[in-house]
Amino acid sequence: MSRQRACDALNGKPTDRIPQWDFPDNPALAETLLPYDIWEDTARTSADLFKHFDIDMTHYLPGGIAEWNFPLVRYFDEADYGEGGDTAPYRRAYRRDTPKPYRSMYDALGMGCRASFWGMAPTLVMQQYPVDSPESVLRFNPAEHDAATFESRRAFFETYYRDTQALLGDSCLLLGWYYHTLFMWPVELFGWEHFMVAAMLDPDRFRAILDQFYALTRRDLAAMAAVPGLPAIGCHDDLCNAAGPMFPPDWYRANVYDRYAELIALLHDAGKQAIFVCDGNVVPLLDDLAALGFDGIAVDGHADLRRVVEAFSGRIIVGGMPAAVVSQGTPEAIEQMVKETAGIVRGEPRYFFQCCGMAGRTPPENVKHYQACLRKYGRRVA
């Protein structure tokens, strides 16, 4: 069973093949594989795609009623969908007739969102920010806009993870996931420009704001860690873009890493593994992140996988394959990428394939070929 394979790999136990943490979020692909109306129940459709490809682990199930990028949850039916024929299936699929199970700071601030149409579920981005200058960032008090209690968060996470894992059954392990570990809070609430200027303009006042964000994250991660059946939690923060770190490494050392260390200790005390998740070229930060004690790291194709393996050998390692190779590449390019990746990680029992190239408008034949290559080159030799 794929779920068991994921659990074994997380703990460094032998597996028959390299496991996969990936997301087949592709309507055209679903229509070629599933004998029913894929838009009638998008959560079922997504779960069936995971089962069809025998994918071992994921951190979310596309579909449902909301974009579960904890903690700033946005609801699909409230998005600005624009105009055009492509929006019709989404408008039909993501109607909501029940009260919201979760109200986030996004709701409290009335930020609004726009939809982009890529996979089974649209991607929602903020329409407006609650700040209009660096000074208004420095006056912002996050705690004023989030009144949730630890117990309410624990109850919500327990229901969410229980119900979602039930849809996946033993076919796939649902990982714990927190999108705004620390750095992504100001990115999403303030926007890049006001955030970065405020952080440099008055470091002490900005650090006080980070203290409030940290308190919210600590509450939520403690609540998530209380959920049974979650062996690991992904802590996401995009500290980097394709070129490298967004801030100088010393800024992260002064403002971020001490809080990461406390969150790692919290998760370890609860018996959970902590996996750091970061897009972009994270190589300049690898040594620092490894020293903090993360149990693993998930990267995208902008990071040199060989350097990631050097820094995190023996720990959980995820990804390192460029999404564009699957979404736009030739069959030969896809096969070469998978073959090279398998060669690099052959001695890492806790490695997971991940590419993130199966979403949106990727040709279905590319996805099928990618999956076939994973099975061909991911076999473990006894």
365 neighbors 333 (Cβ within 8 angstroms): no
- pLDDT for 285-300, tens place per residue? 999 999 999 999 999 9
Residue 164 forms beta bridges with which residues? none
Query: Distances from the Cα of 253 to the Cαs of 180, 204, 281, 284, in angstroms?
Result: 18, 14, 17, 13
> What is the per-residue pLDDT for 22?
94
Question: Measured between alpha carbons, how far is 35 from 290 in angstroms, rounded to an integer?
Answer: 46
CA angle 140/146/152 to nearest 5° reads: 165
Higher pLDDT, 154 or 116: 154
Q: Helices 203-225 and 150-168 meet at what angle, rounded to 10? A: 60
* CA 349/CA 316 separation, integer angstroms: 8
> Is residue 182 pLDDT above 70, yes or no?
yes
Spatial contact of 279 and 240, defined as CB atoms under 8 Å apart:
yes
In our burial notation (b when 16+ CB lie closer than 10 A, e otherwise), range 282-316 reads bbebbebbbeeebbbbbbbbbbbbebbbebbeebb
Helix (H, G, I), strand (E, B) or coil at 114: strand
For residues 278 and 284, give the distance between their C-alpha atoms in angstroms, rounded to a whole number. 12
Which has the minimum average pLDDT: 268-282, 285-299, 368-382? 368-382
Residue 129 predicted with pLDDT over 70: yes
pTM of the model: 0.97
Residue 309 has pLDDT above 70, yes or no: yes
Give the integer Cα–Cα distance in Å for 118 and 107.
24
Q: What tens digit of pLDDT does each residue of 237-255 get?
A: 999 999 999 999 999 999 9
CB within 8 Å of 151: residues ≥ 6 apart: 223
High-pLDDT (> 90) share of the chain, %: 89
Radius of gyration of the CA atoms of the chain, in A: 20
The tens digit of pLDDT for each residue in 197-223 reads 999 999 999 999 999 999 999 999 999
Residues 6+ positions from 285 with CB-CB distance below 8 Å:
239, 240, 245, 249, 252, 278
Check whether 83 has a pLDDT greater than 90: no
pLDDT at residue 382, rounded to an integer: 59
Average pLDDT over all residues of the chain: 95
Return the axis-axis angle of helices 150-168 and 42-52, rounded to nearest 10°.
60
Residue 374 tokens, joined = 């994973």
* Residues 131, 139: Cα–Cα separation, whole Å: 9
Please give the C-alpha separations between residue 1 and each of 168, 233, 287, 292, in angstroms, as whole numbers: 12, 21, 35, 33
Cα–Cα distance, 104 to 191 (Å, whole number): 18
pLDDT for the residue numbered 71: 94
Tell me the pLDDT band of 1, cut-offs 50, 70 and 90: low
- 36-66 pLDDT, tens digit per residue, is 999 999 999 999 999 999 999 999 998 888 9
Mean pLDDT across 146-151: 94
Q: Is the pLDDT of residue 381 over 80?
A: no
pLDDT band at 96 (very low <50, low <70, confident <90, very high): confident
Q: What is the pLDDT of residue 86?
A: 81
pLDDT exceeds 80 at position 307? yes
Q: What percent of the chain shows pLDDT beyond 70?
A: 99
pLDDT-derived band at 97 (thresholds 50, 70, 90) equals confident
The predicted model gives 248-274 an average pLDDT of 98
Looking at residue 129, its amino acid is Y
How far is the C-alpha of 156 from the C-alpha of 40, rounded, in Å? 25
Domains and CATH numbers, the chain: 2-377 (3.20.20.210)
Closest by Cα among 352, 339, 344 to 309: 344
142-167 mean pLDDT: 95
